[in-house]
Amino acid sequence: MAQYRLEKAIDMIGNIIESGAISETGYASCILLIGETGIGKSTILKEWCEEHNYGYKTVWMNGLEDHGDVLGRTYEADILDKNGNPTGDKITRFAPPEFLPIVSRDGERGILVIEEINSIPVHLIEQMKCLVSERRMGEYRLPNGWVIVGTANPAAEDKNFSTSEYNTFQHDAAIRARMIEFPVRTDLQDWIAYTYKKGQEVNPDLGSLLMTSSKTGKKSDLFLVSSPRQFSTLNVLMNTMKGMKTEEIAMLCDGIVRNDAFTQAMVAFLDSKGTRRPFAPSEILANPEECLKIYKAEAKANNEPFLYFTWHNLSLYVKNHKTVEVGKRVWQLENAKLFDIYQKMAKVTPQDILIAGLMISMENIGYTKMFIDNDPEFLKELQRKKSALATIFDRQEGKSKK
C-alpha cells in the first residue's frame, strides 16, 4: 500500500466526511490515519474541522482506566409507561462520558478522534470495537452527522513503515474491514510550508542544514531522524534564543532531536558555513536592495548552502502568500514588493537551485504569466539556462505570442 502525503490524505478524508456516506452506508464506519508520531495527524484534523465548521471531539482511550470510563457511569432511572408516566420500577442506565458527542452540546456534525487507536489497553478493546464497528456503546448512539477518525502509530508488522519503536498492535480482520486506512507521511517541504502557515519563520541555520541534507540524499526521509514536532520545537528555540554559541545549539539538538548524527552534522555545518548566514523572507522584505546585493555576491562565489536555503525558503513563502485574480486565469501576488525581489533574485540564481524553487512557487500557472508580463525577457533568460524549464512555460509562451 502506498504512503500518502498528509495534506492529500486530509483532502480525501474531508471529501468522504462531507459526502455523508460513511455514516449512512453501514459498510465502513471509521477512517484511520496511520503515521509516525509528531507528523501532525491530530493537528490537521482539528484544523480541518475549524475551517469547515465541524465539531471536534478527541479521546485518548489508553488514558482510561476501566469500563465505566468508556461506557459512562451508571445511574437509576424511572421506567415509563407508554404515556410517559413513571411505573414505579427502576432501570440502570449509563450516563455517556464527556468525550462522546451529543448533538445538543456539540452540534449535528463533527469528527470524533480516537487517538492512538492501536495502543488501547487490552481490557478496553472490546468497547472500542463496538464504537468503531457499530457506532454505539451501550445505550449511546453516535449522531448520524459525526464520523470516527482514528490516529495510529505504525505497528511493527506494517510493511508501509520501517519501524518497530511503538507499543502497538494490529487490529484483527473483522475490525479492519470496517475501516478506511490511509498510511500517511510528511516531508521537509510540508514542514516548512506549515511553519509559515502558522505565522512562524524557519530558522535559517536549521532550514539550511535540513535542505542541504535532503538535497544530497544522505537521508531520504529526514523525519526518520526525528519527528516534525521535535524539529518545530528546535526551530522556535533557535529563533527565540538569539546569539547562541555552537555548543549551546548542540545541547539543544541533543535534548530535542536526540540523534548523535544530526547533532554532529549541525556542529559541522555551523563551523563550516562561514559568517554568511542565509536570509529569511522577513529579512529580504525588510531590506530588499541590500539582500539582493549580497545574494548576487554569494551566487558569484557559488555559496550553494546559502543560495539553496534562501531561494527555496523564499519560494515556499511566495507559494503560501496571498494572491488576487486580476483577470481570467491571471493571478498576481498581492505584495508587489515581494514579487519584484523574487524576480530579481531568480535572474541570478544557479539553474538547478532556481528550478527547484520555481517548481514550488509556480504550481499555480498564473505566477508564470506575472513574470512574463512584467519582463518579456525573463522567459528567454530562464529557458537559456535549462531547456527543462520550457515544460513549465509552454502554455504561457504560446499565449504571449498571440
The per-residue pLDDT for range 6-19, each reduced to its tens digit, is: 888 999 999 988 88
Domain identity same for 291 and 172: no
Domain identity same for 39 and 139: yes
* Of 395 and 188, more confident: 188
Least reliable range by pLDDT among 50-59, 201-210, 287-296 = 201-210
- Domain boundary residue, one of 186, 209, 244: 186
Q: What is the pLDDT of residue 69?
A: 72
Domain identity same for 24 and 152: yes
- What is the number of alpha carbons within 13 Å of residue 386 lying toward its C-beta? 14
Q: Which residues make Cβ contacts (< 8 Å) with residue 146, sequence separation at least 6?
A: 23, 55, 101, 109, 110, 111, 112
91 in any annotated domain: no
204 in any annotated domain: no
8 forms beta bridges with none
- Domain boundary residue, one of 124, 152, 186: 186
Domain membership of residue 178 as a residue range:
4-68+105-186
Q: Which residues make Cβ contacts (< 8 Å) with residue 379, sequence separation at least 6?
A: 371, 372, 393, 396, 397, 400
Chain centroid to CA 358: 21
pLDDT at residue 26 above 70? Answer: no
pLDDT at residue 113 above 90? Answer: yes
pLDDT at residue 378 above 90? Answer: no
Q: What is the pLDDT of residue 24?
A: 54
Domain identity same for 177 and 284: no
Amino acid at 271: D
Q: Which three cell numbers stand for residue 48?
A: 480541518
Which helix (H) or strand (E) segment holds residue 48: the answer is helix 41-52
Q: What is the pLDDT of residue 167?
A: 61
239 in any annotated domain: no
- Paired sense of beta strands 73-80 and 86-95, if any: antiparallel
Other CB atoms within 10 Å distance of the CB of residue 401: 6
249 in any annotated domain: no
- Domain boundary residue, one of 169, 186, 203: 186
254 in any annotated domain: no
Domain identity same for 181 and 295: no
- What is the Cα–Cα distance from 225 to 38, expressed in whole angstroms? 12
Strands of 4-5's sheet, edge to edge?
4-5, 179-185, 30-34, 145-152, 109-114, 55-59
| pLDDT tens-digit map of 340-358 | 888 889 888 887 788 778 7
Q: pLDDT category, 399, cuts 50, 70, 90?
A: very low
Q: Which three cell numbers stand for residue 62?
A: 489508553
Domain identity same for 329 and 182: no
Q: How many domains does the chain have?
A: 2
pLDDT at residue 397 above 50? Answer: no
74 in any annotated domain: no
Domain identity same for 159 and 17: yes
220 in any annotated domain: no
Question: CA-based angle 83:88:90, to the nearest 5?
Answer: 100
| pLDDT tens-digit map of 228-265 | 889 999 999 999 998 899 999 999 999 999 888 889 88
Domain identity same for 175 and 299: no
**Distances 291 to 232, 287, 307, 316 between C-alpha atoms, Å:** 26, 6, 12, 18
Domain identity same for 175 and 278: no
